[in-house]
Structure 1
């Protein structure tokens, strides 16, 4: 059961009421300058957020994570800026200090420059390598009422300890009362170590002349290979890994400034975390991986307000709310997307779909869409380039230099935060963004606070996958003009193009993700299907739409009965042997397979099991310091 803010609203004081009213007045005035007329729901959502912030300043907000989910363009950043300005000017809060945690260094600089306050009241705390950002302020963090830092600094300085003991974030020797976390929040980080990762650690251990550690890791590597997917694997404790010498070697390897690669450093840190415990094993194709997670956010960081536009769609928040009990929701605000038209091509949009497209049909189709409005600007979000030719170079084969000058390109992984393209009304998601399968399970366990003994049902994991996909799509599309809001409370007119298979679950979630949007079929390639192939694929699409989330295997017998084909030989000749059938199932993320049902072997279709290792350019499952 979801808990809303109205169930936990703290008592108001005259001071907090005055602070809330002043903040809302100036926020409404600025948003009105942008041409935005606030609806009643928008006003309620902003007041809920302002009240939570003021209650933190009063010390009356319950010690939980308070999630504010306002769609992009509805003023959560504007609210933060105005609240901080009024807080510093109020004579009733002269002893109250603030910590703002942002996701990127660029956001530190942006917020610092936008705040209209005495510069001596604002400091920044970033890593030693961020020299330019650190130079924004020469005020000591302990002497500034507002401290802006990165989320990674919180994880780094507080790991394994309490927030109140992290002196770096204190104001004049005391923990700060108001904590604001901008964008996505997770209580920890996933750890995933594959068979290949362990091999890299063996070489590193040998270079440290720690043969006992190398032998122990080789033994763990063999045990991982012998362990069935879904089973638990015991990791040797530190004594079995080689004792003090092994501990010293792992620490040396894991150091951020060590000579080893980031992957090897990460695995060394993961083994120290795993040692003596049990981990869940998962296989993706031929790749076996050990899964775990660790909490990196101290419990006493709460109360805290989290500002995440994707709060209404990410399943991770529901898990934290239900299982950890650490999260409550402020009033959500979702805008009307009646001016958004989404053209959907139901075809696999993952990285490997593009890599297998030797005929470049997908890039050609993207170019075809651009040529339909060649005089206008376009924003295209694509998979990160890993080799030549780049996506830009391939696209340029089909578009003139003049048209390419109006095309903006950013890659997945870099699709958050920037408003540089908020004027662009044509957006293409050239493929969709997926994490390694092992990461989804680890993320589920982490969000729910599950132990390695707790099982994660397939349907539950897929709900989390859909939530992460929804987050990526919402954030990506809202880099364009759809993030804006017109005087009528609707998003600004925008044409979007999305490539996503039925298997991904994305086609189903779009109407709820963008309420009021116009969803259209995008078929850039001619439909070649006819006869029995068309009948089978039409039926298959109905099944996938209705039950695709739960299906693991679809026997050919079921397809034959559905379309009235009794003879297996005829089914093979008129359906499965046809090239257009093989292309159609591949587009839907399916492949031919065999399965035992009721003691008998059946041929049919299953979801494609990737023969590729996890995408190294996807969000990593383990983030080193």
Structure 2
């Protein structure tokens, strides 16, 4: 905290003219935002003496009110500059140039500085000059990662053609040019593309996102990739923020666990990491069920039933506790949350936060139990775009597969850290987190358990297998889970041993027999109401 306050003072006093990013990566709940607000409050109490102006760049509009209240700012102390027509622009002073502190969003800053230097972005000036103290809250990348689905682009001209034939023809030319580009080849789209807002209003939300993504990377090099679910995808990054935005202070609670900053450093980005002891998570227990639980997996009725039964069994075992449930945002007629609530006693004690809204809230800091129903996996194209945005490399210079894999692991650590730290774990004292127990369902690759240990140093990371698998481990546990899946989730009354053996990847019948005849495994079968036959496992109440 001391180093953070010193860095703020130095940037405010313009004593550091070296273009660099000063990265504060104190973990969630350790008070980075409070330190900023304390500084601004003290500054205000001194009448903003020796003041060169502060620019605070946030990810969401609602965070602006929190900063204003916490720093004790009056209307004449600050201004807000967000999207045109937004009512929040009426907060504070009407003349931003006269406001000691100005608040804006990541998106607004990027839009206003596109194609110009920061010094020329007079919307963010103070008394006619660029503000000296520049604070970027949360994740920072100089450029924004962009992925564009080519299948989605092909459907847009049909909507645009009756309204704006020229825009439709321009998009036709781009999609035609992309047809001849092979997968994993790079391409630069030098086309011009524009349409008036009233025309774009006819597009669906998904189509508008693809259009905006494409427009943002025109003239920039991209790479064509293929995704099993999304078809051919264009991966690239927008133009970066102007170099003279630095020096700036970045407050990213995930800075310790993300790999994008390392990728930036490896390609020469000037990053000064503030020292920090890191939080001790010894009062956190994370129980991990190494079971595929992606959005597509949950679309399979048997898989969804198994996962929800497992989650409900744990939640019902602690009937007096409130729970924070981390989940995918519902699409269409998605019934996952309704099905979970139907299996839980007193479902009003459940709080739900979907991925994408899993940070920047303290509303659940009193909750001591967390259930992560499914992990948030981005596509390979998205991780590739992160690599391009972080490194500043264009695809023709060569993209490093190892770096992309590291970035993917870092994004998993970031998401888990932010999600679980919405709960009581963010509380604590003397560098030790608050009491909390988290249950995580999902796979991140070869060793999810190690990834969890890296994310939460000092925490107890334990295997979690619901449905009474007891002390079974290794191959015995794999066989038990397969048997249980087939009987409970699949509704079977008997299962052939050969089918079990093939499902778990065992080569020979004696290998399976060695597991089935172990005393611990026989005890588990008895507890599940199952018995061994010559060639099958069957329910004990069936002849």
Map 1:280-299 to 2 at 5 A. Answer: 280-285=223-228, 287-299=231-243
Closer, same or farther: CA 296–265 of 1 in aligned 2, 3 Å: farther
Map 1:479-490 to 2 at 5 A. Answer: 479-486=422-429, 488-490=430-432
**5+ residue gaps in structure 2?**
480-496, 507-543
Map 1:523-542 to 2 at 5 A. Answer: 523-525=465-467, 534=475
Q: Which residue of 1 aligns with 2:515?
A: none
Q: Which residue of 1 aligns with 2:502?
A: 578
Q: Which residue of 2 aligns with 1:186?
A: 141
Q: 1:451, CA displacement in angstroms?
A: 1.2
Q: Which residue of 2 aligns with 1:461?
A: 404
Whether the aligned pair in 2 keeps the contact of 1:204 and 1:264 (CA below 8 Å) is no
Q: Which residue of 2 aligns with 1:85?
A: 41
Whether the aligned pair in 2 keeps the contact of 1:191 and 1:270 (CA below 8 Å) is yes
Q: 1:126, CA displacement in angstroms?
A: 1.8
Whether the aligned pair in 2 keeps the contact of 1:379 and 1:480 (CA below 8 Å) is yes
1:385 lines up with 2:330 in the alignment = yes
Map 1:25-174 to 2 at 5 A. Answer: 46-61=1-16, 62-90=18-46, 93-131=49-87, 133-174=88-129
Map 1:132-281 to 2 at 5 A. Answer: 133-204=88-159, 206-207=161-162, 208-210=164-166, 212-213=169-170, 215-224=172-181, 227=182, 229-233=183-187, 235=189, 237-238=190-191, 247=192, 250-252=193-195, 258-272=201-215, 275=218, 278-281=221-224
Residues in 2 aligned to 1:74 and 1:234: alpha-carbon distance in whole angstroms = 44
Closer, same or farther: CA 256–309 of 1 in aligned 2, 3 Å: farther
Q: 1:366, CA displacement in angstroms?
A: 1.1
Closer, same or farther: CA 189–524 of 1 in aligned 2, 3 Å: same
Closer, same or farther: CA 251–507 of 1 in aligned 2, 3 Å: same
Q: Which residue of 2 aligns with 1:398?
A: 343
Q: 1:469, CA displacement in angstroms?
A: 0.5
Map 1:383-462 to 2 at 5 A. Answer: 383-400=328-345, 403-462=346-405
Note the alpha carbon deviations across 1:342-395, whole angstroms, 9 max, x for none: 111011132112122435111111111111111111111111111335333111
Give the alignment's Cα RMSD to 1 decimal.
Answer: 2.9
Closer, same or farther: CA 151–233 of 1 in aligned 2, 3 Å: closer
Whether the aligned pair in 2 keeps the contact of 1:254 and 1:269 (CA below 8 Å) is no
Whether the aligned pair in 2 keeps the contact of 1:202 and 1:218 (CA below 8 Å) is no
Q: Which residue of 2 aligns with 1:494?
A: 436
Q: Which residue of 2 aligns with 1:603?
A: none
Closer, same or farther: CA 215–117 of 1 in aligned 2, 3 Å: closer
Q: 1:405, CA displacement in angstroms?
A: 1.4
Q: 1:279, CA displacement in angstroms?
A: 2.7
Residues in 1 aligned to 2:223 and 2:29: alpha-carbon distance in whole angstroms = 41
Whether the aligned pair in 1 keeps the contact of 2:220 and 2:238 (CA below 8 Å) is no
Residues in 1 aligned to 2:33 and 2:335: alpha-carbon distance in whole angstroms = 35
Whether the aligned pair in 1 keeps the contact of 2:74 and 2:92 (CA below 8 Å) is no
Normalising by structure 2, we get a TM-score of 0.82
Q: Which residue of 1 aligns with 2:527?
A: none
Note the alpha carbon deviations across 1:438-480, whole angstroms, 9 max, x for none: 1100111110110121222322211000000100000000000
Q: Which residue of 1 aligns with 2:293?
A: 349
Residues in 2 aligned to 1:522 and 1:59: alpha-carbon distance in whole angstroms = 52
How many pairs were matched up? 485
Q: 1:337, CA displacement in angstroms?
A: 0.6
**5+ residue gaps in structure 1?**
1-45, 239-246, 539-572, 583-625
Note the alpha carbon deviations across 1:509-553, whole angstroms, 9 max, x for none: 11121111111111014559999x938969xxxxxxxxxxxxxxx
Q: 1:269, CA displacement in angstroms?
A: 4.6
Q: Which residue of 2 aligns with 1:508?
A: 450
Closer, same or farther: CA 478–273 of 1 in aligned 2, 3 Å: closer
Closer, same or farther: CA 256–157 of 1 in aligned 2, 3 Å: farther
Whether the aligned pair in 2 keeps the contact of 1:125 and 1:149 (CA below 8 Å) is yes
Note the alpha carbon deviations across 1:291-342, whole angstroms, 9 max, x for none: 2112242211111101111001110111112214232211134111111011
Provide the secondary structure at the position in 2 that maps to 1:317.
helix
2:416 aligned residue (467, 473, 478)? 473
1:313 lines up with 2:257 in the alignment = yes
